[in-house]
Amino acid sequence: MTGRSQTVRRLGALMLSALFATSAGAAEIGRIKVAKGQVTVERKGEALPGAVGMRLEPADVLKTGADGSVGITMADNSLLSAGPNSILSLDRFEFDPTSNQGRFDAQLQKGSLAVISGRMAKQSPEAMTVRTPSAILGVRGTEFVLSADD
Amino acid sequence: MTRHLSRTLAIGALAALAAIVSSCQTGTVVLLPSADGKDAALIVKQRDGQTLLAEPYAATKLTTAGPRAYSANAQEVQALFGPALAAQPGRPVRFTVQFIEDKDELTEDSKVALEAIFAEIARRPVPDVLVVGHTDAVGSDQYNDALSRQRADVIRVGLIQNGIAPENIVAVGRGKRELLVPTADGIAEPRNRRVEIVVR
């Protein structure tokens, strides 16, 4: 690797980080706004306590205990809230706030979930899906609930 | 013979079991009335078929034999989904304030409105705020990008002064790219000189 290409790479990284600094947050895709009882966020093999204000990242898995519930706001204004004994994974979230285009795939592995879809689903009917172990929901809009039994 | 019979019985029992298993319920989906009353629909796909929910309280039971459509009601939804619905975060609220031509100074009306907006934001337990500055179509892109950013900064500073944590505010300038009132380039339009504030 030549010195020059290294410099170019560094410059590129710098420009990228500047871009992220001005966008709505690099890794942050949403936030916990409501948390009651036991709430855990599994991230890269770690179990973190899910507290109000926590920033969420792609592939996070939210789990609630028997007394737990959790409400989150996503970057595209989608609102998701899970009841007790639920497992909700945020499998994929890509959002361009300028064009409102992107992709949001969530999965309710078990439990109960209330959803108000956001700007992506409004922009494009193919942008958002919610899965359960047995079904795939294509979200045209806007407010719905679903459960997944054990 | 006996052996054959017991085998037939066993197959029969298995078939009966399979029938029970095949109609096992694995979940429920209910479309709710939407606050804006528009374009609400869900497509529920399972291996064996799909169903469209397009009316308020249109619902389907998810079974291992495929979706079974039915009509739900508010009481049932509350009974099944009460805790999930109770945990729903506050809906995002959007405000707009206007600026004086070519300046990063609010109009008199907007100065008054801003107080109420800051109060609303301070009421939320963990607000995160998106501030988007805009200009009208007078001037170059470069000039308007800077002006729109300055306008967003005025609001950002005001929010911080009112106790909102800086890390919970994202301020951006969109220049003249998103005119609220479409005009030709070079046209002065007060309604385009604005900052949008989205509170989540």
- Residue B36 banded pLDDT, cuts 50, 70, 90: confident
Mean per-residue pLDDT for B98-104? Answer: 95
Looking at chain A, the whole-number percentage of residues with pLDDT higher than 90 is 73
Give, for A144, the enclosing helix (H) or strand (E): strand A143-148
User: Would the pLDDT of A26 be above 50?
Assistant: no
Residue-level length of chain B: 200
Check residue A17 and give its pLDDT.
Answer: 40
Mean per-residue pLDDT for B53-78? Answer: 93
Mean per-residue pLDDT for A60-68? Answer: 98
| Cα(B46)–Cα(B67) distance, integer angstroms | 7
DSSP string covering B133-164, please? E---S-S-HHHHHHHHHHHHHHHHHHHHHTT-
- Residue B65 banded pLDDT, cuts 50, 70, 90: confident
Mean per-residue pLDDT for B20-43? Answer: 81
User: With an 8 Å Cβ cutoff, is A18 touching chain B?
Assistant: no
The shortest C-alpha distance from B103 to chain A (Å) reads 22
Chain A environment of B126 (Cβ under 8 Å) = 31, 33, 52-53
| Cα(B30)–Cα(B42) distance, integer angstroms | 9
Chain A environment of B88 (Cβ under 8 Å) = 34, 71, 79, 81, 114, 116
| Cα(A75)–Cα(A30) distance, integer angstroms | 5
| Cα(B1)–Cα(A148) distance, integer angstroms | 46
Residue of A nearest to B65 (CA): A134
- From the list A79, A84, A143, the residue facing B89 with the nearest CB is A79
User: With an 8 Å Cβ cutoff, is A143 touching chain B?
Assistant: yes
Return the number of other C-beta atoms located less than 10 Å from residue A12's C-beta: 10
Count CB pairs under 8 A between chains A and B.
150
User: With an 8 Å Cβ cutoff, is B130 touching chain A?
Assistant: yes
Count Cα neighbours of A41 within 13 Å in the Cβ-side half-sphere. Answer: 22
Chain B environment of A84 (Cβ under 8 Å) = 83
Each residue of B113-125: pLDDT tens digit?
Answer: 998 888 888 888 7
Both structure tokens of A45: 């093999």
Residue of higher predicted confidence among B74 and A150: B74
CB contact under 8 A, A112 and B41: no
Residue type, A131: R
Residue A102 neighbours by CB under 8 Å, 6+ apart: A76, A93, A94, A95, A96, A120, A127
Q: For A82-104, b where at least 16 C-beta lie within 10 A, e where not — what string?
A: bbbbbbbbbeebebebeebebeb
Task: State how far Cα B165 lies from the chain centre.
Answer: 23
Chain A environment of B67 (Cβ under 8 Å) = 135
User: Would the pLDDT of A51 be above 90?
Assistant: yes
Check residue A8 and give its pLDDT.
Answer: 46
User: Would the pLDDT of A104 be above 80?
Assistant: yes
User: Would the pLDDT of A100 be above 70?
Assistant: yes
Chain A environment of B29 (Cβ under 8 Å) = 135, 137, 144-147
How many angstroms separate the first and last alpha carbons of chain A?
Answer: 54
- From the list A71, A113, A141, the residue facing B89 with the nearest CB is A71
Q: Dmax over Cα atoms in chain B, in whole Å?
A: 99
Each residue of B70-99: pLDDT tens digit?
Answer: 999 999 999 999 999 999 999 988 999 999
What CA dihedral angle connects A43, A101, B197 and B121, to 10 degrees? -30
Residue A73 bridge partners (DSSP): A31, A79
Each residue of B128-176: pLDDT tens digit?
Answer: 899 999 999 999 999 999 999 999 999 999 999 988 999 889 899 999 9
**Using an 8 Å Cβ cutoff, are B120 and B199 in contact?**
yes
User: Would the pLDDT of A86 be above 70?
Assistant: yes
Strand locations in B12-163, DSSP E? 25-31, 41-46, 49-53, 58-63, 66-71, 93-98, 129-133
User: With an 8 Å Cβ cutoff, is A65 touching chain B?
Assistant: no
Picking from A125, A98, A120, A78, the residue whose alpha carbon sits closest to that of residue B39 is A125
The mean predicted confidence, pLDDT, of chain A is 86
| Cα(B150)–Cα(B143) distance, integer angstroms | 11
| A11-25, A53-67, B184-198: segment of lowest average pLDDT | A11-25
Residue A95 to residues A28, A101, B172, Cα–Cα distance (Å): 11, 6, 16
